[in-house]
């Protein structure tokens, strides 16, 4: 019995020593390493989801990409029936030609009326000269008072005729004054209709706004689509990041610019991604939910909130080991350096993400308009 008691005593002493050593080791680990790292497994890959949408209404006649396919920016993905757009363009071209001819007639009418005014001025000057001559003759009793009255009537008629011609000339000039054929408002308006109709014909070919992979294709042949209807989604996997949701009691030492290591279940712990804290969210997830929590109730229970932290990944590592939108990640932030800001203080002047696909070159339509002006001038 005594030997058993000694053995038990030695076992308890060894077990206590083991716990003491483990406690000391954990304390050393915490103060030298552990307290400077914050980790979470509530982290997910996020990225841009570029929706492909038509800019005009039409029937789908062809689809050039399906789910999982790689597409390049500017590549045609969907084609709409262009019959209506072509007819509208031809109608706009005809209207422009008619407008040019009508405006030329306005300029010609103004020129004719200017000649009429000059002629009326000549007639009036002649009538006034005749009246002056007859006024001198009446003093010499060389003509009758009736002839003098006729001369006065001729001056009045000439003045009225000149005033009427000047009024018509002013009305004609108001439609063409300070303009040329190319700058006349009616011509410019008709040119705008041609440009819009040409643009509609170009938009019958719906192009990829960005380079990426097709997901969630819903468009079908024969479907009638309109602006605002999503046809498919393009996911640019080279422009992704991680949104890691940390508990509020983990955020005390997290700053922008701190290094982050991440692992994914897709590749396992053998593949480590590196990144940096790009920013901290302006509110918790519950605030922006569809039905925000109402805590002002009698049965309130405190729940630790989580705040999203945006992590920017190394693009070279992402290129070597591609990730997918929505994958879960394990993120660990090194908080040794706390010199960074908690909230961003830099104003974003450049676009975060942009495309030039919708910037259509209009050289073709401008040549078309110039030819119409030349043919009808």
Position 15 in a domain: no
Position 355 in a domain: no
Q: For residues 329 and 244, what is the distance between their CA atoms, to the nearest angstrom?
A: 8
Position 130 in a domain: yes
**Is residue 241 located within the same domain as residue 231?**
no
**Is residue 88 located within the same domain as residue 196?**
yes
> Of the residues 190, 215, 235, which one is the last residue of a structural domain?
235
Contact 277, 333 (CB under 8 A): yes
As given in the structure block, the two tokens for residue 191 are 């040119």
**Is residue 254 located within the same domain as residue 301?**
yes
**Is residue 249 located within the same domain as residue 285?**
yes
How confident is the model over 315-325, as pLDDT tens digits?
999 999 999 99
CATH number of domain containing 94: 1.10.287
Position 222 in a domain: yes
The pLDDT score that the predictor gives to residue 142 is 62
Backbone angles phi, psi at 20, to 5 degrees: -65, -45
As given in the structure block, the two tokens for residue 327 are 């994958």
Instruction: Give me the long-range contacts of 100-107 (CB less than 8 A, separation at least 24).
Output: 100/181, 100/187, 100/190, 100/372, 100/373, 100/376, 100/377, 101/376, 102/186, 103/176, 103/181, 103/184, 103/186, 103/187, 104/181, 104/376, 104/377, 106/172, 106/175, 106/176, 107/176, 107/181
> Can you give the residue range of the structural domain that contains 257?
237-346
**Is residue 255 located within the same domain as residue 330?**
yes
The pLDDT score that the predictor gives to residue 176 is 65
Q: How many domains does the chain have?
A: 3
Q: For residues 58 and 67, what is the distance between their CA atoms, to the nearest angstrom?
A: 22
CA-based nearest residue to 233, from 49, 74, 46, 48: 49
Position 20 in a domain: no
Position 25 in a domain: no
* Predicted confidence pLDDT, tens digits, the chain (377 residues): 556 666 676 677 777 777 776 776 666 655 655 577 899 999 999 999 999 999 999 999 999 999 999 999 999 999 999 999 999 999 999 999 998 888 788 777 767 767 766 776 776 677 677 767 766 666 666 666 676 677 667 767 777 776 776 676 666 666 567 777 788 888 889 999 999 999 999 999 999 999 999 999 999 999 999 998 999 999 999 889 999 999 998 898 899 999 999 999 999 999 999 999 999 988 887 777 777 777 777 777 788 889 999 999 999 999 999 999 999 999 999 988 888 888 888 888 888 888 888 887 788 888 998 898 888 87
Position 10 in a domain: no
**Is residue 152 located within the same domain as residue 259?**
no
Contact 40, 244 (CB under 8 A): yes
The pLDDT score that the predictor gives to residue 219 is 95
Other beta carbons within 10 Å of 341:
12
CATH number of domain containing 326: 2.40.30.170
Position 66 in a domain: yes
The pLDDT score that the predictor gives to residue 168 is 64
How confident is the model over 13-45, as pLDDT tens digits?
777 777 776 776 666 655 655 577 899 999 999
> Of the residues 184, 218, 235, which one is the last residue of a structural domain?
235
Backbone angles phi, psi at 242, to 5 degrees: -120, 130
């Amino acid at each position: 019995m005594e030997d058993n008691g000694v053995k038990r005593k030695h076992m308890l002493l060894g077990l206590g020593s083991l716990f003491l050593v483990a406690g000391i080791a954990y304390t050393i680990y915490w103060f030298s390493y552990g307290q400077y790292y914050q980790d979470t497994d509530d982290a997910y890959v996020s990225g841009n989801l570029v929706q492909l949408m038509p800019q005009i209404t039409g029937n789908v006649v062809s689809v050039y990409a399906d789910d999982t396919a790689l597409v390049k920016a500017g590549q045609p993905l969907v084609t709409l029936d262009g019959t209506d757009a072509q007819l509208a363009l031809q109608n706009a071209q005809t209207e422009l030609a008619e407008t040019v001819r009508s405006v030329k007639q306005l300029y010609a009418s103004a020129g004719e009326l200017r000649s009429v005014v000059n002629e009326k001025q000549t007639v009036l000057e002649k009538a006034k000269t005749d009246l002056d001559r007859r006024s001198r003759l009446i003093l010499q009793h060389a003509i009758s008072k009736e002839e003098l009255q006729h001369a006065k009537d001729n001056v009045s008629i000439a003045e009225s005729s000149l005033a009427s011609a000047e009024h018509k000339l002013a009305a004609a000039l108001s439609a063409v004054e300070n303009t040329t054929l190319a700058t006349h408002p009616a011509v410019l308006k008709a040119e705008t209709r041609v440009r819009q109709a040409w643009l509609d014909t170009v938009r019958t070919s719906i192009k990829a706004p960005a380079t990426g992979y097709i997901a969630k294709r819903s468009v079908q042949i024969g479907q009638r689509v309109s602006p605002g209807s999503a046809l498919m989604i393009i996911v640019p996997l080279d422009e992704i990041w991680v949104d890691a949701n940390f508990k509020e009691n983990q955020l005390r030492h997290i700053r922008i610019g701190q290094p982050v290591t991440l692992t994914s279940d897709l590749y396992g712990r053998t593949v480590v991604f590196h990144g940096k804290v790009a920013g901290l969210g302006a509110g918790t997830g519950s605030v922006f939910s569809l039905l925000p929590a109402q805590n002002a109730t009698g049965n309130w229970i405190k729940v630790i909130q989580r705040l999203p932290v945006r992590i920017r990944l190394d693009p070279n590592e992402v290129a070597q080991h591609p990730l997918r939108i929505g994958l879960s990640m394990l993120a660990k932030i090194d908080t040794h350096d706390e010199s960074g800001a908690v909230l961003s203080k830099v104003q974003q002047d450049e676009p975060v993400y942009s495309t030039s696909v919708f910037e259509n070159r209009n050289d073709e339509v401008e040549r078309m308009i110039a030819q119409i002006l030349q043919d009808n001038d």
